[in-house]
Structure 1
């Protein structure tokens, strides 16, 4: 079965809940996983950027992956985030993490070293050849400092057998349409921008890997399903009230924004690890005000 069939709809990039002492709160993580599945999301992503992976130790990451598979217990597909800016290290990580039960690996483009398009291509080619699971490319230039062009994405999709999909978060609608025009039929393309997801599905994307769905699993996944069924009137009705939530979530930092929502909903503690800090009090008050409506 292709990823396009398995991962159509809403995937949630899970937060990593922390206790007051900043250790991983596995009880809260279990509660979040159950809430996502009860809300109707199609699949989960563990160790995404939203999970604060830059500040997790390697053993913590392994423990989170193991726990997530145990808790999900096959109810929905799970995608594991394995990326980095040292290609050799990413390849080692692919054999370090327990990926037997993973549906795919989501791998963010190398950050900070700003490779050329050829460098990005060769990085992903090496990673895909080493991966026991299909690779989903992740283009997020706002975080990596380098955009992966439509031409590079399409070249990888056509030339590298184990590259099976793409999370596109450039925010460039023309680039998105070029990828959708030129990709192979079987190739999964999902949005990485909550606020643009509805419009990008209208352009032909297969769904979204979402941050906002951590706080709104049902409303968000219902919106995505309506859009995928070409019921844009329903999708718009569900999406319009969330536009303000998207603004609040990303105003200062991800995942501080979505964690503030989830804290107010009683799902997790409002804890993040430095250098990320919780929302400023004024913005947190705006979140409370939004939720009270």
Structure 2
């Protein structure tokens, strides 16, 4: 069986802000250490959840460096994508030079390249930057889907080591898994509600928003599924279901920033043009976080018939 470089749970980290909108590096380092202590398999700063679209290039690198410096023994996968190939290449090289263990590259957004353009975009970066790279497909944000043929062709590149799947199309993701089984190419869920279904058809793990506030449950669910214990994995999937839905009632990362604040992990501040979670959703989110906090994960596991 081919070994995959990425397996398990990788929280898509938020970028915490001070009241004046500057980056709260102390909270960022605290978050990284908290997540590492919870047992995650790696960290993903400055992706979509990290509000990369409103960070300067220097801030990108500063966040990556801060997370790398904060943790002891988990890989850091830096978000370095852009709709401009030259810009993505520059960000990727700077993150690699800063010590990132791998890179996450969203497909070019807004300008909607054809499949050949996507191939050339990713190959250009993979040829120039000697660092493992994860292709990120999220058509709802980019306006363009990465077709299975394109993903499979990219999987043959030695520096392209994974695919973050957030298309919502199980059939397409299943085809990519099926056709890359002999490649050193991990497929990771990029949609928390789809993580368990995708694990059941051969995905390797997830890049998760929910794991920012529920890292232990997310790790337990993914770990159980990877070890074949779908009884416990299903229980945790449904346990996390209400929270997962609440974290996407408005544009990510608006709700997760609010959830982090409820749990005492920084402020709910987001950079414009995003706005704070509307009041109509706050009470439900607070109630669900309180419910989960009252449940003991070890007791839940013990209750499952082994």
Q: How big is the shift at 1:161?
A: 2.5
Gaps of 5+ in 1: none
Q: Could you tell me which residue of structure 2 aligns to residue 249 of structure 1? A: 247
Q: Could you tell me which residue of structure 2 aligns to residue 280 of structure 1? A: 278
Gaps of 5+ in 2: 292-306
Q: Could you tell me which residue of structure 2 aligns to residue 142 of structure 1? A: 140
Q: For residues 96-107 of structure 1, what are the structure 2 equivalents within 5 Å?
A: 96-99=94-97, 101-107=99-105
Measure, in 1, the Cα distance between the counterparts of 2:90 and 2:259.
36
Q: For residues 99-248 of structure 1, what are the structure 2 equivalents within 5 Å?
A: 99=97, 101-158=99-156, 160-183=157-180, 184-248=182-246
Give the TM-score of the pair, scaled to structure 2. 0.91
Greater alpha carbon shift after TM alignment, 202-211 vs 128-137: 128-137
Matched, 1:11 2:10: yes
- Partners of 2:123 and 2:154 within 8 A in 1: yes
Measure, in 1, the Cα distance between the counterparts of 2:290 and 2:10.
26
Q: How big is the shift at 1:162?
A: 1.6
Q: How many positions carry a matched residue from both structures? A: 289
Q: How big is the shift at 1:189?
A: 0.9
Measure, in 2, the Cα distance between the counterparts of 1:214 and 1:57.
23
Q: How big is the shift at 1:134?
A: 1.5
Measure, in 1, the Cα distance between the counterparts of 2:3 and 2:191.
20
Give the TM-score of the pair, scaled to structure 1. 0.95
Q: Could you tell me which residue of structure 1 aligns to residue 304 of structure 2? A: none
- Partners of 2:45 and 2:79 within 8 A in 1: yes
Q: How big is the shift at 1:78?
A: 0.8
- CA-atom RMSD, angstroms? 1.4
Q: Moved runs in structure 1, 4+ residues, more than 4 A?
A: none
- Partners of 1:3 and 1:165 within 8 A in 2: no
- SS of the equivalent of 1:10 reads strand
Measure, in 1, the Cα distance between the counterparts of 2:15 and 2:98.
21
Q: Deviations over 1:59-116 (max 9, x none)?
A: 211111111111113x111111111011122122233335353221111100000111
Q: Could you tell me which residue of structure 1 aligns to residue 81 of structure 2? A: 83
Measure, in 1, the Cα distance between the counterparts of 2:100 and 2:59.
18
Q: Could you tell me which residue of structure 1 aligns to residue 39 of structure 2? A: 40
